[in-house]
Amino acid sequence: MSGFSARTGFPRTWNPLARALDERRRRGLPLLDLTETNPTRVGLPAPEPALLASPGALGYAPEPQGLLPAREAVAAHLASRGAPVSPGHLVLSASTSESYGWLFKLLCEPGDNVLVPAPSYPLFEYLTRLEGVEARTYRLPRAPGFGLDVEEVAAARDARTRAVLVVNPGNPTGHYLHEGELEALGRLCAEAGLALLSDEVFSDFAWDEAPGRVPTVAGRELPMLTFSLSGLSKVAGLPGLKLGWTHVGGPAALREEALARLELVADTYLPVNTPVQLALPGLLAHAPRFQQALLARVKENRRRLLQARPAEARWDVLPAQGGWSTVLRIPLEPGEEATCLALLDEGVCVQPGYFYDFTGGAFLVLSLLPAPEHFSAAMEPLVRVLATSG
Ligand SMILES: Cc1ncc(COP(=O)(O)O)c(C=O)c1O
């Protein structure tokens, strides 16, 4: 079609699952939605909205990296997670997604590429393409629980690769980056002149403690340029407030050049809105309450799922260490989509693994956020439908 850019020509046809879901909703049939990941819709604690109405909320103080008190609040949050950082090395944006766009502008010429993990969050394809950048996939092998295999990363690289993206912990795989993986990645990135983009939006949501995990690359001495990304959407469960942050790290000269250039990129888009920046210290002070409630919810729902699984079942709940979702490995027949459609007929909505680019088997992805009574009510039809597979 003439007149439009090729990079906005994404397919817009609905898959059979989206059509069936729409039909069910239009007919007003009941639905137990185990794809719900909107933290504002599942009855978790929210902060006082009055936080957004501070004196000065309507003022405007252009500061490309973000207002200093807001960046100090992010630095204090990271310090409380064991990552002491300077507020001078932080850049605020309107979301993690916007941060990605800025980083692709910073690092890539049109036609360059970045390496993205698979299986993973499906938005990278869009975020890269909209910036004229190619997303090249490196596989996370299932055997060590979807951990990072640096050989896979190295094999995916070519002469136009500029950066490696890691999602830590993985969404929806829930695998945390480990010290050995980071060390190997550091060697590869330093040798090949690649930057590391570490998406840490779920990093605060570990289900248990374990030695050797890397909760964040912020504040660490690493041999390559590093960007660690997070924001209010997951940390405080407030995606509607549109605030993300990027910590820039790595060798000092590279870091300073990156910050100077990012300042210009940020300035071009004008700063994050004032009310949310002024509210940030209060919003981050609320985050632990939200996170505790969310973790209790996620663990309880996962416990119910494990309890509901019959001992002789031909499906498994995959091991994971954190995040908001859980992955089931199901029999190859009748397959992901047919199973999702059969579940939908029973009023239960789950996602097929192919949404996240799983390969080498059949998988379902379930959100662990729904209220426990909803989650529990979905267990009987889930177990019944899965019993007919294979
Ligand atoms: C791994 C990951 N990164 C980034 C985002 C987007 O976050 P934001 O709302 O800050 O753009 C999501 C949203 O689900 C996500 O799952």
* Whether residue 18 is found in the same domain as residue 73: no
Q: What is the pLDDT of residue 61?
A: 87
Distance of alpha carbon 10 from alpha carbon 48, whole angstroms: 39
* Whether residue 320 is found in the same domain as residue 263: no
What's the gap between Cα 238 and its chain centre? 14
Q: What is the pLDDT of residue 1?
A: 61
* Whether residue 369 is found in the same domain as residue 236: no
Distance (Å) from CA 97 to ligand 1 centroid: 6
Distance of alpha carbon 92 from alpha carbon 352, whole angstroms: 34
Each residue of 50-89: b (16+ CB within 10 Å) or e? ebbeeeeeeeeeebbbbbeebbebbbebbeebebebebeb
Distance (Å) from CA 381 to ligand 1 centroid: 30
Mutate to test the pocket of ligand 1, among 91, 123, 175 (most ligand atoms within 8 A of CB): 123
Nearest atom of ligand 1 to the alpha carbon of 96 = 10
Q: Which amino acid is at 190?
A: A
8 in a domain, yes or no? no
Q: What is the pLDDT of residue 271?
A: 85
Nearest atom of ligand 1 to the alpha carbon of 232 = 10
* Whether residue 157 is found in the same domain as residue 280: yes
Dump pLDDT digits (tens) for 106-126.
999 999 999 999 999 899 999
Q: What is the pLDDT of residue 74?
A: 98
DSSP sequence for 154-187: HHH--TTEEEEEEESS-TTT-PPPBHHHHHHHHH
Q: What is the pLDDT of residue 260?
A: 98
| 233 Cβ closer than 6 Å to some ligand 1 atom | yes
Mutate to test the pocket of ligand 1, among 204, 234, 324, 351 (most ligand atoms within 8 A of CB): 234
Which of 286, 320, 340 is where one domain is finished? 286
Nearest atom of ligand 1 to the alpha carbon of 171 = 1
In the chain, the number of structural domains is 2
Which domain range does residue 19 map to? 13-44+288-387
| 181 Cβ closer than 6 Å to some ligand 1 atom | no
CATH number of the domain enclosing 323: 3.90.1150.10
Which of 232, 258, 286 is where one domain is finished? 286
CATH number of the domain enclosing 261: 3.40.640.10
53 in a domain, yes or no? no
* Whether residue 68 is found in the same domain as residue 35: no
4 in a domain, yes or no? no
* Whether residue 146 is found in the same domain as residue 278: yes
Dump pLDDT digits (tens) for 186-233.
999 999 999 999 999 999 999 999 999 999 999 999 999 999 999 999
54 in a domain, yes or no? no
Nearest atom of ligand 1 to the alpha carbon of 167 = 1
293 in a domain, yes or no? yes
Which of 229, 260, 286 is where one domain is finished? 286
* Whether residue 314 is found in the same domain as residue 219: no
Mutate to test the pocket of ligand 1, among 38, 121, 216 (most ligand atoms within 8 A of CB): 121
Tracing tokens 């300077």 back to the chain, one arrives at: 86
As separate numbers, helices (DSSP H) first and strands (DSSP E) second, the chain gives: 11, 13
Distance (Å) from CA 322 to ligand 1 centroid: 15
DSSP sequence for 299-352: HHHHHHHHHHS-TT-S-EEPP--BSSEEEEEE-TTT-HHHHHHHHHHTTEE-EE
* Whether residue 128 is found in the same domain as residue 142: yes
| 237 Cβ closer than 6 Å to some ligand 1 atom | no
For 19, residues 6+ apart whose C-beta sits below 8 A from its C-beta are: none
For 350, residues 6+ apart whose C-beta sits below 8 A from its C-beta are: 34, 35, 340, 343, 364, 365, 366, 382
Each residue of 8-46: b (16+ CB within 10 Å) or e? eeeeeeeeebeebbeebeeeeeebbbbbbbebeebebee
* Whether residue 306 is found in the same domain as residue 245: no
Q: What is the pLDDT of residue 389?
A: 84
**pLDDT of the chain along its 390 residues, tens only?**
679 999 999 999 999 999 999 999 999 999 999 999 999 999 999 999 999 999 999 999 889 999 999 999 999 999 999 999 999 999 999 999 999 999 999 999 999 999 999 999 899 999 999 999 999 999 999 887 899 999 999 999 999 999 999 999 999 999 999 999 999 999 999 999 999 999 999 999 999 999 999 999 999 999 999 999 999 999 999 999 999 999 999 999 999 999 999 999 999 998 899 999 999 999 999 999 999 999 999 999 999 999 999 999 999 999 999 999 999 999 999 999 999 999 999 999 999 999 999 999 999 999 999 999 999 999 999 999 999 987
5 in a domain, yes or no? no
* Whether residue 262 is found in the same domain as residue 326: no
* Whether residue 330 is found in the same domain as residue 250: no
